[in-house]
């Protein structure tokens, strides 16, 4: 009985899939366009198995080699158009951004909170984005240097025990602390601990199978998300009158309530955006910092030149008995180029997703309404056309500015990363302490990559750190 029901179901699903494909093809013929080249694979499964059974880089590179810079595929139940050229990325993210909306699985939206800015387009997105950008502007983040400096210094000190540590997990602690600083300024330890505890449950369930069955990681994450709302409500309540003076992200979101020309931002919208920023800030920055530990380990000459640049700063600061300052962080040319090259090489946001809100024509091809569109950042970053000898780690390539839309580690256009300056600042400060005060060795396999979901060195890069005697 079950087998018959399953066969009928598969038959109808395949029929629906076939009809919708026919409709898209007809629309293309009607408009004198055609669907991009490529294969949609099996009904429903599409090419999901091919994508997940190999390194995603190989899947995309093989497709690009066969079909060129625009091709169609079908993954995770969605027909997709992949775009691997700077012009196409500009078309989707910048010039025709209004034709492509952000798209995330519902299960993930529920965990972060549906009002987080990156799920939105139009007026609401624009308003929220201004507030977030304001608290992440250069003027705002320069005041954070002493605090980020002490977060990085004490985190790295705690690694120097000769025990093996999971570098990625430790970097996540730093990026979480910096996220909290940016959002709340100085926050009471009890609140911070509560946020940390519940956020890590949410984080653990984020990539798990979405189900409401009690005890599963996803269900636990949903419950932690509810508790996070309550904690954030308490923090907002306690801010009271003080909110008018604070310049951090929470202050920026709360003060907007007082602007009578605009609709108020509710506490739940504030909570969704705070969780959204923490989420956008933590694994991304931690993953890049982990790659940097590996790249520096693998290239002793490069490490020496960064050391020389950073030791000069350290020497000056020791003589004057002062910590790292903003001007110094803006004047680290060797280290800065190394950070840019790490962002290119690691390309931790390999691609992003949008959905066409109407039938769109691009270079004679139809992108049907409802199809997903994926600008492939990593393919562009690793193309020999824009970055000669792309697999060679060479910071000097950044002595010349990359061509427009060839280097997009922070995306581009209306949804480009508002935290990019903060991320770079945090990374530079971490490197300052790492290379001037520590030596390290990697433990175990040193070449694998793990997707969590961002690419991270295998097993989080187990390593041992020792303090250097000065
Ligand atoms: C190295 C670290 C980081 C990388 C590589 C990175 C990368 C990106 C990228 C590629 C996007 C655009 C995604 C898209 O177009 O779909 C983005 C968006 C975003 N990022 Fe980052 N990010 C980093 C760190 C941060 C930090 C530290 C923060 C905040 C403190 C942050 C906050 C955000 C937010 C709020 C958005 C959504 C913007 C919008 O939709 O308008 N990111 N990030």
SS (H, E, C) the chain: CHHHHHHHHHHHHHHHHHHHHHHHHHHHHHCCCECCCECCCECCCECHHHHHCCCHHHHHHHHHHHHCCEEEEEECCEEEEEECCHHHHHHHHHHCHHHEEECCCHHHHHHHCCCCHHHCCHHHHHHHHHHHHHHCCHHHHHHHHHHHHHHHHHHHHHHCCCCCEEHHHHHHHHHHHHHHHHHHCCCCHHHHHHHHHHHHHHHHHHCCCCCCCCCCHHHHHHHHHHHHHHHHHHHHHHHHHHHHCCCCHHHHHHHHHHCCCCCCCCHHHHHHHHHHHHHHHHHHHHHHHHHHHHHHHHCHHHHHHHHHHHHHHHHHHHHCCCCCCHHHHCCCHHHHHHHHHHHHHHCCCCCCCEEECCCEEECCEEECCCCEEEECHHHHHCCCCCCCCCCCCCHHHHHCCCCCCCCCCCCCHHHCCCCHHHHHHHHHHHHHHHHHHEEEEECCCCCCEEECCCEEEHHHCEEEEEECCC
- With 70 as the cut, is the pLDDT of residue 310 above it? yes
At residue 132 the predicted structure's pLDDT band, cuts being 50, 70 and 90, is very high
Tens-place pLDDT, residues 238-263: 887 666 677 799 999 988 865 556 66
- How is residue 170 written in tokens? 């430790």
Work out the average pLDDT over 185-197.
95
CB of 302 within 8 A of CB of 395?
A: yes
Confidence of residue 13 (pLDDT cuts 50, 70, 90): low
Residue pLDDT, tens place only, 70-88: 999 998 788 999 999 999 9
The pLDDT of residue 6? 53
Residue positions forming the annotated binding site: 417
Give nearest CA residue, ligand 1 atom 13: 411
- Identify which of 134, 138, 419 to mutate to test ligand 1's pocket (most ligand atoms within 8 A of the CB): 419
Question: Residue 272 has what pLDDT?
Answer: 97
Ligand 1, closest atom to CA 102? 16
19, pLDDT greater than 90: no
Question: Shortest CA distance to 236 belongs to which of 280, 187, 201?
Answer: 187
* Per-residue confidence band for 50, with pLDDT thresholds at 50, 70 and 90: confident
User: Would you list which residues are annotated within the binding site for heme?
Assistant: 417
Q: What is the pLDDT of residue 51?
A: 78
Residue 153's pLDDT is 97
**In the predicted model, what is the mean pLDDT of residues 266-281?**
96
Instruction: For residues 129-152, give the mean pLDDT.
Output: 96
Query: What are the structure tokens assigned to 428, written together?
Result: 């530079």
How many A from CA of 433 to the centre of ligand 1? 25
* Cα 178 to ligand 1 centre (Å): 15
Distance 419 CA to ligand 1 centre (A): 6
Nearest to 182 by CA among 248, 275, 133, 236: 248
Q: What is the pLDDT of residue 257?
A: 63
Using the atom order of ligand 1, give the atom closest to the CA of residue 352. 16
Cα of 15 from ligand 1 centre, angstroms: 40
Q: What mean pLDDT do residues 295-320 have?
A: 97
pLDDT tier at 45 (50, 70, 90 boundaries)? confident
According to the model, what pLDDT value does residue 264 have?
A: 80
Tokens of 49: 């198995």
Question: What is the model's pLDDT at position 256?
Answer: 83
**Residue 5 confidence (pLDDT):** 54
pLDDT in tens, 407-432: 999 999 999 999 999 999 999 999 99
pLDDT of residue 300 exceeding 70, the answer is yes
Residues with CB under 6 A from ligand 1: 117-118, 129, 132, 136, 179, 182, 276-277, 280-281, 284-285, 288, 348-349, 352, 409-411, 415-419, 422-423
Task: Report which protein residue has its CA nearest ligand 1's atom 18.
Answer: 417
Question: Which atom number of ligand 1 is nearest to the Cα of residue 183?
Answer: 30
Least confident span in 154-163, 317-326, 450-459: 450-459
pLDDT exceeds 80 at position 452: no
> How much is the pLDDT for 20?
57
Q: Is residue 395 pLDDT above 80, yes or no?
A: yes
What is the reported pTM? 0.92
Mean pLDDT of 206-234: 95
Q: Are 66 and 59 in contact (CB under 8 A)?
A: no
Indicate which residue's Cα is closest to atom 27 of ligand 1: 281
Lowest mean pLDDT segment, chosen from 68-72, 293-297, 330-334 = 68-72
User: Tokens 């950070």 belong to which residue?
Assistant: 339
Ligand 1 centre and the CA of 452: distance in Å?
Answer: 16
Q: What's the pLDDT tens digit per position in 355-390?
A: 999 999 999 999 999 999 999 999 999 999 999 999
Give the pLDDT score at 244.
64
Distance of CA 129 from the midpoint of ligand 1 (Å) = 12
Closest atom of ligand 1 to CA, residue 413: 15
CA Rg value for the chain: 24
Give the atom of ligand 1 at the shortest distance from the alpha carbon of 408. 10
pLDDT attached to residue 60: 86
Average pLDDT across the chain, whole number: 91
Question: Which atom of ligand 1 lies nearest, measured to the CA of 182?
Answer: 30
Using most ligand atoms within 8 A of CB, pick from 284, 336, 340, 425 the residue to mutate for ligand 1: 284
pLDDT at 462 over 80: yes
Q: Which of 288, 282, 106 is nearest to 200 (CA)?
A: 282
- Confidence band of 199 (pLDDT split at 50, 70, 90): very high
CA of 412 to the centre of ligand 1 (A): 10
Residue located via tokens 């030149």 = 305
Q: How far is the CA of 32 from the centre of ligand 1 (A)?
A: 38
């Amino acid at each position: 009985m079950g087998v018959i029901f399953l066969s009928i179901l598969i038959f109808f699903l395949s029929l629906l899939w076939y009809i919708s494909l026919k409709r898209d093809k007809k629309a293309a013929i009607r408009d004198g366009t055609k669907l991009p080249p490529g294969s949609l694979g099996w009904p429903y499964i599409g090419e999901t198995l091919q994508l997940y059974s190999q390194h995603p880089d190989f899947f995309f590179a093989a497709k690009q080699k066969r079909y060129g810079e625009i091709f169609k595929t079908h993954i995770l139940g969605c027909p997709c158009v992949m775009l691997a050229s700077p012009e196409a990325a500009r078309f989707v993210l910048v010039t025709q951004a209004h034709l492509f909306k952000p798209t995330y699985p519902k299960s993930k939206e529920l965990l972060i909170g549906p009002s987080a800015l990156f799920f939105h387009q139009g007026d609401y997105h624009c308003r929220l984005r201004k507030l977030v950008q304001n608290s992440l502007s250069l003027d705002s983040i320069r005041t954070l240097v002493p605090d980020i400096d002490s977060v990085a210094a004490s985190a790295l000190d705690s690694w120097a025990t000769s025990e093996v540590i999971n570098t990625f997990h430790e970097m996540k602690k730093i990026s979480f602390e910096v996220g909290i600083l940016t959002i709340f300024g100085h926050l009471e330890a009890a609140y911070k601990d509560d946020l940390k505890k519940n956020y890590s449950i949410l984080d653990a369930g984020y990539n798990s199978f979405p189900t409401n069955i009690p005890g599963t990681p996803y269900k636990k994450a949903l419950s932690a998300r509810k508790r996070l709302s309550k904690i954030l409500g308490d923090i907002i309540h306690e801010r009271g009158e003080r909110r008018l003076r604070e310049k951090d992200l929470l202050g920026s979101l709360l003060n907007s309530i007082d602007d009578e020309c605009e609709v108020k931002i509710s506490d739940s919208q504030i909570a969704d955006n705070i969780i959204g920023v923490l989420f956008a800030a933590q694994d991304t920055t931690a993953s890049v910092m982990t790659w940097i530990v590996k790249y520096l380990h693998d290239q002793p000459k490069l490490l020496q030149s960064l050391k020389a640049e950073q030791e000069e700063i350290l020497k000056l600061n020791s003589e004057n008995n002062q910590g790292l300052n903003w001007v110094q962080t803006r004047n680290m040319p060797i280290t800065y180029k190394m950070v840019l090259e790490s962002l290119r090489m690691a390309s931790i946001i390999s691609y992003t997703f949008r959905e066409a809100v109407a039938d769109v024509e691009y270079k004679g091809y139809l992108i049907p309404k409802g199809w997903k569109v994926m600008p492939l950042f990593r393919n562009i970053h690793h193309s020999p056309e824009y970055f000669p000898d792309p697999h060679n780690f060479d910071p000097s390539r950044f002595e010349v500015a990359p061509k427009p839309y060839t280097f997009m580690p922070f995306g581009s256009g209306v949804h480009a990363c508002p935290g990019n300056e903060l991320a770079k600042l945090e990374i530079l400060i971490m490197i300052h302490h790492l290379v001037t005060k520590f030596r390290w060795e990697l433990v175990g396999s040193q070449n694998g990559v793990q997707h969590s979901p961002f690419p991270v060195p295998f097993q989080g890069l187990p390593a041992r750190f020792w303090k250097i005697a000065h």
